[in-house]
Structure 1
Amino acid sequence: MKPKVQRYFQKTSQNFDAIYASEKSLYQRLADLLFHGVIEQRFKAAFAELGDLRGKTLLDVGCGSGRYMLEAARRGANRVVGLDFSQNMLDLAQRHLKHEGYDKSSQLINRDFLEFQDQNRYNFALAIGFFDYVAKPENYLIKMRQLTTEKIIASFPKKWTFRTLIRWVRLSVAGCPVYFYDRKRLTKLFKDTGLDSYEIINLSRDYLVVIRMERNTN
């Protein structure tokens, strides 16, 4: 992951986290309607795929402000671990988890995922809004595969939507690279990483991919 991405999320952590807030101004609600609808879509779709989390473990790669970790803990996950290289994001995540009493069953790590060392394996791994900013995703997926026993759930921004160019320009001006995907690229990516059992769920401007590990035995 590039330092440019790290700097971007250090600066925008509060604004990003506000997308998940329950109380919003009229302006924020309008922005959600126009630009952020996919965030709610993929949140609901991801937890529908995760199912019953009671007693399970979850690894959140690029956890940001910890909103997925918090929801997993609410749903009974035994242990949730989040990695992010933005300390500002992790500070927000710590605040949310501690506020609801889940700080003891969670762990937050400020580190690039490729540098993460863990002898444990997790039932589930998430990478939501993560591969948007990864130039070479292959090694990240391979490592996620090594650490996951049931499902990997990851989102990938679509290459061709009315917002693709707008988002690319906005992030380029902010100095943050962003990468887009079509189905052809996703198919090649999963073939190259030995992940042959997956489902691509079509969202408004993202693909949500569910990779079932018990069928990926190669």
Structure 2
Amino acid sequence: GGKIVTGLDIAQGMLELAEQKTKRYLAEGKVNYVYSGYLEHAFPQQFDAAVLVGFFDYIKTPLDIFKKLEKEITKELLMSFPKSGGLLGWQRKVRYRMRNCPLYYYSKSDLESLLTTMGWQNKAEIIDIDRDFFVRVKL
């Protein structure tokens, strides 16, 4: 509908893929992309919502991200966090170690602690979706 979307990534290839999949919306000016890391980029405006999927896998200090999100997002956060343990978690760990890429995992108690630190514990729900936790925060 009437939404305007901004996508941000540090991987040029991911942005190119997103642009291919959203050509129509790009032409209409409904979507734009930023090549940057999240903490390094200063947005000139606030957003209603943020979707962070496949993101916290690479984040060593999620609290820094949460503090920035709190300033920039006004209504809702939708986030995924990779779960430690299980066969899928173990496979992912091996695959990323072979690529020399750090990967961070979260337990439910890690997430509860982070949410409590932010004062979001009563605004959030944590849903176990097999290999990840899905977290929704109503700001």
TM-score normalised by length of structure 2: 0.92
After superposition, the Cα gap between the structure-2 partners of 1:83 and 1:115, relative to the gap in structure 1 and judged at 3 Å, is: same
Aligned-partner SS, 1:162: helix
Q: CA deviation at 1:165?
A: 1.5
Task: Say whether 1:86 aligns with 2:41.
Answer: no
Q: CA deviation at 1:160?
A: 2.2
Match of 1:159 in 2: 84
Distance (Å, rounded) in 2 between the aligned partners of 1:209 and 1:159 = 16
- Residue correspondences, number: 136
Structure 1: which 5+ runs fail to align? Answer: 1-75, 214-218
Kindly provide the amino acid, as one letter, of the partner of residue 199 in structure 1. Answer: E
More strand by share: 2
Q: 2:22 aligns with which of 77, 97, 107?
A: 97
Match of 2:136 in 1: 210
Structure 2: which 5+ runs fail to align? Answer: none
Q: CA deviation at 1:168?
A: 0.5
Q: CA deviation at 1:198?
A: 0.3
List structure 1 runs of 4+ shifted beyond 4 angstroms: none
TM-score normalised by length of structure 1: 0.60
Q: 1:138 aligns with which of 63, 69, 82?
A: 63
Kindly provide the amino acid, as one letter, of the partner of residue 60 in structure 2. Answer: A
Match of 2:52 in 1: 127
After superposition, the Cα gap between the structure-2 partners of 1:77 and 1:154, relative to the gap in structure 1 and judged at 3 Å, is: farther
Distance (Å, rounded) in 2 between the aligned partners of 1:114 and 1:171 = 23
Q: CA deviation at 1:192?
A: 2.2
After superposition, the Cα gap between the structure-2 partners of 1:77 and 1:131, relative to the gap in structure 1 and judged at 3 Å, is: farther
Task: Say whether 1:110 aligns with 2:35.
Answer: yes
Aligned-partner SS, 2:115: helix
Distance (Å, rounded) in 2 between the aligned partners of 1:97 and 1:164 = 31
**Aligned-residue identity in percent:** 32
Aligned-partner SS, 1:115: coil
Task: Say whether 1:147 aligns with 2:72.
Answer: yes
